[in-house]
Amino acid sequence: MVKDGTITEKQLSHSVALVAFSGNDYAGTGVIGLSSPNDINAYIGKVTKEIAANVDQLLKLGVTKVLVNNLHPIGCTPSYTRTNNYTTCDIFENLGASLHNDNLKQVMTSKKNVYIVDVYTAFTNIVDHVAGKGSELSKQFKRKLSPCCESLDSDGYCGQQGESSAELLYTVCDNSNRFFYWDDMHPTHAGWEAVMKQLEKPLREFVNQA
């Protein structure tokens, strides 16, 4: 788009880019929480190296500021808390996320005009507390580890239908504002709002700095 003029150099020089990464990018690879420590470190190293290369490419093109989010505590998502009736996070999955985040921090340390968006801490501040405990942001959620939209089948998914469209194979909570997670992986609107309330100030400071 830069080569064909769709995006101009002037636009690039006034732009902020986001290199987004999520637990879905590791899902199904058998890496986080399953492989040997050496295999995990090697795979994570390849992933963060590629992220760093993408950041370098954006800066080389002329983007003046780049945001890169770290990995949220994927062991706290309902897809992993379902096995213990949504009571506790999976520590092994969260360890994998922490390894990714530590590695990401290392490869980004020397880069100027790059900011790591700490979604891991923002999520943990909310979900790592029992109901009624933690910050005010955390207390607003009655259910922090269970989904509002839940499949009737452990192998199913939110929105799944039976042979007829009238047969719904999932349930939906009455008030999604009291749930941090919407489905097995994704927060509700209220959940994301609580996360962004923590991130907005540092993000604005980074974007507005000369």
pLDDT 10s digit of each residue in the chain, 210 long? 888 999 998 999 999 999 998 877 776 555 555 557 777 888 889 999 999 999 999 999 999 999 999 999 999 999 999 999 999 999 988 988 999 999 999 999 999 999 999 999 999 999 986 666 677 888 899 999 999 999 998 888 999 998 887 889 999 999 999 999 999 999 999 999 999 999 999 999 999 987
User: Under a CB-based contact definition with an 8 Å cutoff, are residues 70 and 107 in contact?
Assistant: no
Residue with tokens 């150099």: 9
Instruction: Report the pLDDT value the prediction gives residue 195, as an integer from 0 to 100.
Output: 97
Residue 78 to residue 90: CA distance in whole angstroms: 10
Residue 46 to residue 174: CA distance in whole angstroms: 43
Q: CB atoms < 10 A from the CB of 164, how many?
A: 7
Is the whole-model pTM more than 0.85?
Answer: yes
User: Under a CB-based contact definition with an 8 Å cutoff, are residues 59 and 108 in contact?
Assistant: no
